[in-house]
Structure 1
């Protein structure tokens, strides 16, 4: 594995993981702001009246959106990081590694911002960004399969 490829992997993986951690923190802040708690023990964080207890996790459209974004990240980012480790062992040119990692990270950050409605865009752009991230995961996985087959 080339050092340049490994450094790119570490850097962009770090960005993706920090993004996921920020959204975890943001979920908590949003729950307090919207007064929607997940369990009785969370009442200590919201002392005001009118608190909504929703054990299923939602309770407000903003909460539902951020939970959906976070779940989507868990479903695609973590497998991507694992598959990419295997892909790096297939003697991929560093320029390809950097491009794939950069575009995947960009697509996941945009996906989060668009689906959280922090940045309002047309539905087709949301679909394109989602397809781009899935296409990159598919490319990495198929490259590994073809190399090791």
Structure 2
């Protein structure tokens, strides 16, 4: 195992922090949609908030934000783990910084193209950019440690 380059770790820490803030922002964004549309999924929320409606589980605007949040959780967590392990293989500093930055910017673009300005093929392209980066790092780490 190679010692992780401190500058690469600093870049990982900075960009990962931005990504965590973005993922955390998805929960209030979901709540905002629920309040805006007056859509709640539990009877106690419906009663407490005085909507007078039945719980609703399938509002398209709320579900769009929830799906974007779930997509983040499905993609960001594996990236955090594999990127840290990949950094221990001693990649070039330039490549490490470039892939870390690109992944985070791709995830931000994915959220924008999913929730704020829904559009294809932008959403698919930025999804696959992040997916390919994670896959490359996983394969590279696997080969290094095999």
Structure 1 length-normalised TM: 0.89
- Does the 8 A contact of 1:35 with 1:46 survive in 2? no
| Pairs within 5 Å for 1:99-138 | 99-116=98-115, 118-121=116-119, 123-138=120-135
- Does the 8 A contact of 2:43 with 2:54 survive in 1? no
The 2-side partners of 1:92 and 1:78 are apart by: 21
Match status 1:91 vs 2:90: yes
Would the alpha carbon gap of residues 102 and 44 (structure 1) be closer, same or farther in structure 2, given more than 3 Å must change?
Answer: farther
Equivalent residue number for residue 29 of structure 1: 32
SS at match of 2:68: helix
Deviation at 1:134, TM superposition (A): 0.6
Match status 1:39 vs 2:46: no
- Does the 8 A contact of 1:16 with 1:105 survive in 2? yes
- Does the 8 A contact of 1:83 with 1:140 survive in 2? yes
| Unaligned runs of at least 5 residues, structure 2 | none
SS at match of 1:17: helix
- Deviation above 2 Å: which 4+ runs of structure 1? 43-49
Deviation at 1:52, TM superposition (A): 4.7
| Unaligned runs of at least 5 residues, structure 1 | none
Q: Which moved more, 1:7-16 or 1:58-67?
A: 58-67
Equivalent residue number for residue 74 of structure 2: 75
The 1-side partners of 2:67 and 2:133 are apart by: 21
Number of aligned residues: 143
